[in-house]
Each structure stands twice: as C-alpha cells, then as structure tokens.
Amino acid sequence: MLNVAIVAGGDSGEFGISMKSGKQVLSHIDREKFNPFLIVVRGKNWNCTVDRKKIPIDKNDFSLTIDEKKIRFQVVFNAIHGTPGENGKLQGYFDMLGIPYTSCDVTTSALTFNKSFCKDVVASYGIKTAKSIHLFKNGDHAVKRILEELSLPVFVKPNNGGSSVGMSKVTLEKDLNDALTKAFNEDTEILVEEFIQGRELTCGVLRTEGQIVSMPVTEIISRKEYFDFEAKYKKGLAEEVVPAEVSRYNSERCREISQMLYEKLNCKGVVRFDYIFTGEVFYFLEVNTVPGLSTASIVPRMARAHGWTFSELITRLITEVV
C-alpha cells in the first residue's frame, strides 16, 4: 500500500480553503489502495496530527516518525493553493528528494503562477488575452501611463495572487491610485488589465491513463460585480453551471483550447483554465494549477459531470505519477 502525503495549508490567504481541500481528499481517498496522511505546511512548521498528537515532519527526507517507526511517502497529493504549493517552491523540494507529486513541475508552476508571464506565453499560442500592463514595486507605475495605454474599466490585481485578494475593478480614474496601493500591499508586482465584458467559463483538464482529458465546461455566474473572494467562498453568491449552457461547438472549442494549453504548458495533474467568453472569443484569464477540491469547489463537480466520483478522480491523479 502506498503512503500518500496530502499536503495542505500553505502561506497565502488561501490557507483555510486549502485545509478544506486537503480534508476532502483525506476523506475521499480510496483506503484500499492508499494509506493517507494529512500534512499541514505552514511556514517552517510542517506537522501531521496522529491520535491528536502533532508530529513534526523531518524535512531532511520528508518523513514522519510515529512510535519510533519511520514513515516515508511514495507520493505527495498537492492540495496547497498559493505559495508554496502552486508556484513551484514545494515542487523543487520534492524534486530534490525524488518524491513524485500530483501537480505541475517547478517551471510550469512558477510560470503559470505569474499571471503576466503566463499570459504572454499563452498569447504566443494564438489565444486571446486582455490587454494589460505588468508593474513592479518601486518601478514607474504612474497613473498617467496606465490611462494612456489601457481603457477603463480595468482590473488591478496582484500578479501572483489567488482568490481575488487585493484585487479591484476600477471604473473611475480617481480610484486607480488606491487600487494600485491595495494590490501592491499583497505583492511586489501587479497586473493592470482591461475589463472584458462577457461570460465566465472554466474548463478542467488532467492527464489520465496517458491521455489529456478535459471535463465539461462550467459557467461561473457571480451575483457580485465579479467573481471576488466573497462570491468564491460564501454560499449563494455565485452559481456554477455544469455543464455550461453554451453551444456544443463553443464547448468543444473551449475544451480544445484548454487541452492544447495543457499540453503546451506541460501541465500535470488536474488544472483549471479560466476564460471570459464574449460570444465569439475566449479570452484566457488565468490557469489554476492547484484548483480547489472542497465540497463547494468546481473541479469535484466537473468530475461528477464527467462521470467520475471524487474518489476516482483522486485515484487517477495519484496513479498517473507513481
């Protein structure tokens, strides 16, 4: 039986969400095939709670010692959203130890976590993205330059963020400066991006049995102005329609683009490509390489619509890498 380390937590504002994802994986993983341990990674404290006792992880070899017995892990199930699980940092550590994991590698994680760099690469494959400016702290981020190059409304977001933290939609020129400050409080680099009016569609893709497979396209309908933090995690503020009510042709196009991007970006595990669909064009927004896996999350629902239980999805993700 394989010892599986489900890593959760992390150092971003998505800690709580990641804990929910991790616990959901722990409760659904097939225990006839796998022996799971939930490992909480928070700063330098990495622990596993066994019989109500917090046991520290030995970072030299990512092992656990319970009653003088050393437990090693054959595989890591990555459920950390944001840093260090989604940006390549933890991937580098596991690569050095030679432990396989269920998510993208160092390069792909680092690239895709950087919204601006990722958009440039995605655009190079012929996929449309919103016009934007990438700004660095201490650099020149004059409001004047933004207004010269982009038209309002714009989204101002931390470049390496998630869960819509530190983000604003700016319609009036006078609000731009505050929005920049807010985003710079979360990150040393930010993205100012033109607003695209359209429907928000998302497509989950994974590699299973050696094949790249996309799951049914899903529409996100937010009752807030956009899919902000509250809309993401408060019940009733957003509705996810699986499968999305789009024509078969457009759903196929969305799945094809997503599968192509999965291959070109060299993704691993299950990832979610987000778009704004204007009725003609799919504008790539971002890719989530460690998407949410809690009961309320989109990926488990997509999997169900595809015909897989959550357990089966977990088994597929693990067996693909061991």
Ligand X SMILES: Nc1ncnc2c1ncn2[C@@H]1O[C@H](COP(=O)(O)OP(=O)(O)O)[C@@H](O)[C@H]1O
Among positions 4, 135, 146, 196, the unique one binding ligand X when judged by CB under 6 A = 196
Residue 18's nearest CA partner among 233, 239, 274 is 233
Least distance CB 228 / ligand X (angstroms): 7
What number of other Cβ atoms are within 10 A of residue 183's Cβ?
26
Question: Binding to ligand X by residue 285, rule CB under 6 A?
Answer: yes
Q: Could you give the string, one character per residue 165-194, with x where binding to ligand X holds by CB under 6 A and - elsewhere? A: --x-------------------------x-
Greatest CA separation found in the chain? 65
Least distance CB 189 / ligand X (angstroms): 14
Among positions 11, 195, 199, 260, the unique one binding ligand X when judged by CB under 6 A = 195
Q: By Cβ distance, which residue is nearest to ligand X?
A: 227
Among positions 20, 141, 157, 207, the unique one binding ligand X when judged by CB under 6 A = 157
Among positions 36, 82, 161, 204, the unique one binding ligand X when judged by CB under 6 A = 161
Question: 200 and 227 in contact (C-beta within 8 Å)?
Answer: yes
Q: Which is closer to ligand X, CB of 36 or CB of 82? A: 82
Of residues 210 through 229, those in contact with ligand X by CB under 6 A are 226-227
Q: Which residues contact 108 (CB under 8 A, 6 or more apart)?
A: 88, 265, 266, 267, 268, 289
Q: Could you give the string, one character per residue 126-145, with x where binding to ligand X holds by CB under 6 A and - elsewhere? A: ----x---------------
Q: Could you give the string, one character per residue 230-269, with x where binding to ligand X holds by CB under 6 A and - elsewhere? A: ----------------------------------------
Among positions 109, 163, 259, 297, the unique one binding ligand X when judged by CB under 6 A = 163
Q: Could you give the string, one character per residue 72-111, with x where binding to ligand X holds by CB under 6 A and - elsewhere? A: ----------------------------------------
Least distance CB 154 / ligand X (angstroms): 8
Residue 195's nearest CA partner among 230, 227, 171 is 171
Q: How far apart are CA 267 and CA 107, in angstroms?
A: 10
Q: How far apart are CA 112 and CA 289, in angstroms?
A: 8
Residue 6's nearest CA partner among 43, 45, 34, 44 is 34
Residue 111's nearest CA partner among 77, 160, 158, 167 is 160
Question: 252 and 187 in contact (C-beta within 8 Å)?
Answer: no
Least distance CB 277 / ligand X (angstroms): 11
Q: Which is closer to ligand X, CB of 81 or CB of 255? A: 81
Residue 187's nearest CA partner among 147, 121, 141 is 141
Among positions 276, 293, 299, 302, the unique one binding ligand X when judged by CB under 6 A = 276
Least distance CB 158 / ligand X (angstroms): 8
Q: Which is closer to ligand X, CB of 65 or CB of 181? A: 181
* Binding residues for ligand X (CB under 6 A): 130, 155, 157, 161-164, 167, 193, 195-196, 200, 226-227, 274, 276, 285-286
